[in-house]
A and B are shown apart, each in its own frame.
Chain A
Amino acid sequence: MVRIGDAPGVRRTLIVAALVLSALFLLLPLVAIFAQALMSGLDVYWQNLSDQYTLAAIGLTLLVTLLTVPVNLVFGVFLAWLVTRFTFPGRRLLQTLIDIPFAVSPVVAGLVYLLLYGRNGWLGGWLDAHDIQIMFAWPGIVLVTIFVTCPFVARELIPLMQAQGAREEEAAVTLGASGWTIFRRVTLPKIRHALLYGVILTNARAVGEFGAVSVVAGAIRGQTNTLPLQVEQLYQDYNTVGAFTSASLLAMLALLTLAAKAALEWRAARRETAT
């Protein structure tokens, strides 16, 4: 039996093409980041890393991520639970609304927040009067990051929870279990992998978000620069090695994320075959 595209020549050509393209577009840039960062040796790399502004950027990025991930974890679970377990008017609309952060360019998201919370914005006047600063400070960065990353967890959970249905939860409630017990002992174990996956994606995006953050951060060196902003600023300052040093940190985080994702998928696959 001959399948389409199964001729040895075609197969080899396709494999070689795929490998070459991946190397050119994916692997080479990654190697370039580390090569550039380490161009002037480990000492300079280390010096660049321990630069006070870079350290501040690392700290701010961690803070933003640490706040964003739990908020969106809870929000995503809540939202997925709501749209898959209850029927109410506006349910479909809500499901569409969840995707807005994906559909909208992050820069636009940043501008919208600026419009809302900025000094001349709708809420800005009131905030200013109460001496609360959101824009050009870390709360603003956290807000836009939450906005940009909020669909990830919910998007992972909704199709899964829809497919699983509510039968097991119904069984649990007929056995007298409370809502919290049902969530903890029945629902959570079923969605655990999807949830972790959603968290990993949220985390990756929260660390790497540039567009929205750059609008609301105001680029105050050492104060409102997250790592991606720091990379850009160093590059603008012709400090190529410094820029790539920070970039290498982001790249390492990305690699870690991918490794975690692969490990999760591998474990899930192994569980499938075990049962």
Chain B
Amino acid sequence: MNIRIAGVDKRYGRARALEPIDLDIQDGELIGLLGPSGSGKTTLLRIVAGLEQADSGSIHFGERDVTQVHVRDRRIGFVFQHYALFRHMSVFDNVAFGLNALPRRERPSSDQIRSRVMQLLEMVRLTDFASRYPAQLSGGQQQRVSLARALALKPDVLLLDEPFGALDAKVRQELRRWLRHLHGELGFTSLFVTHDQEEALELSDRVVVMSDGRVEQIATPDTLYRRPSNRFVFEFLGEVNRLEGDVARGVLTCGDARLSVPGIDDGRHELLLRPHEIRLSDQPSHGAHLPVSVSAVVPVGAEVRLELEADWLGEPWQASVGHAEFDRLDIRRGRRLYAVVSQIHRFDASRPQTLMLEPAI
């Protein structure tokens, strides 16, 4: 079921929660709404659900105009951040709730309900927990119950509000993969809210980046990362290092640092780069003379994260290197090295621009 959101906006009193928003979601697509808190993403989700009313605009599910349809009749599944399970009901009764709430003539027989619920519990791998109460389950298990409950009525659309926000990192990772898998299997159209960029990039077919009630960019995770349409998106999607200096004849100078930036016009510029776009070397390259000293070393799994300091830097740079590189350069705190930059981005021109400098090894 495709979803068409057209010109939806919302105010709370004088404060504007959503600028008019247009968004087309294809059948079976998994869309992430990403943004900092207060960006309007949850408001948009709740409007699609019918839990809140837009001030204007329309929402279509397929051919059906649901703008004025009550949430009860929209045929959506909704998963809440804090699960919102019925605490006085067993897991089984939670999942069966929607089926039991159907009007008598549409309601399946109790045998049918039982088998449907057990099938859902099997899908979320909680068959053994059917008679437990929510308080007896872990957060991850509760969220799986909540998902099974939302899917019980075979909704056209599944909406998830920060579904993994309250879980610890490992469970979150696991549930994310599992949701991706489930989505591939069942093919429901889905819209989820998150403030975690990694989550958005990993789960979504397309990501809607929002800030201050506005859509900043709608794109696939890959495009979003490679070709952010503005500075906000670039900064929100990952760690950012800044380099500010004067450019003259294709060379940026900043204290005793030099970097050749062919094609950038003369004047003062602020350039941005990601941690993985920095390489370290024990001598300057011919295009870059960027002396730094290592001020912190944090080994994290497959890579080592470094903090680099220099007189010419306002705030330290973040960089990451592999273990082989780490050993070869004998990196430790206080070690003096030279940074080599493979790519650099600028957003102060009319169009965002990415400059390829020296290829990373």
Contacts and interface: CB of A to CB of B under 8 A. Distances in A.
B80 A178 contact: no
Interface string B84-96: 1111100000000
B165 to A, nearest CB: 14
Given A177-B72, A275-B136, A167 B84 contact: yes
Size band of the interface chain B makes with A: 20 to 34
B98 interface: yes
A174 B77 contact: yes
A178 to B, nearest CB: 7
A170 B86 CA distance: 11
B101 A175 contact: yes
A212 B152 CA distance: 55
B74 to A, nearest CB: 8
Given A176-B101, A177-B72, A190-B88, A171 B153 contact: no
B347 interface: no
B82 interface: yes
B179 interface: no
Interface string A129-169: 00000000000000000000000000000000000000110
A175 B84 contact: no
Contacts of A174: 49, 51, 71-72, 76-78, 150
B97 A168 contact: no
A173 B88 contact: no
Given A175-B149, A176-B102, A275-B135, A168 B87 contact: yes
Contacts of A178: 72, 101
Contacts of A175: 97-98, 101, 149-150, 152-153
Contacts of A173: 51, 71-72
A63 B25 CA distance: 63
Contacts of B51: 170, 173-174
B97 A177 contact: yes
A260 B72 CA distance: 39
Contact of B86 (A176, A186, A275): A186
Given A175-B149, A186-B86, A167 B97 contact: no
B326 interface: no
B133 interface: yes
B80 A171 contact: yes
Given A181-B101, A275-B133, A167 B82 contact: yes
Interface in B286-303: none
Interface in B48-104: 49, 51, 71-73, 76-78, 80, 82, 84-88, 97-98, 101-102
Given A176-B102, A181-B101, A168 B84 contact: yes
A5 interface: no
A172 B88 CA distance: 13
B198 to A, nearest CB: 26
Most chain A beta-carbon neighbours within 10 Å: one of B78, B97, B152: B97
B72 A167 contact: no
Nearest to B97: A175
Contacts of B85: 168, 171
Interface of A: 167-168, 170-178, 181, 185-186, 189-190, 275
28 contacts: A168-B85, A170-B78, A171-B78, A171-B80, A173-B51, A173-B71, A173-B72, A174-B49, A174-B76, A174-B77, A174-B78, A175-B152, A175-B153, A176-B72, A176-B98, A176-B101, A176-B102, A176-B153, A177-B97, A177-B98, A177-B101, A181-B101, A185-B97, A185-B101, A186-B86, A190-B87, A275-B133, A275-B136
Interface of B: 49, 51, 71-73, 76-78, 80, 82, 84-88, 97-98, 101-102, 133, 135-136, 146, 149-150, 152-153
Which 3 residue pairs spanning A and B have beta carbons closest together? A175-B98, A167-B84, A174-B78
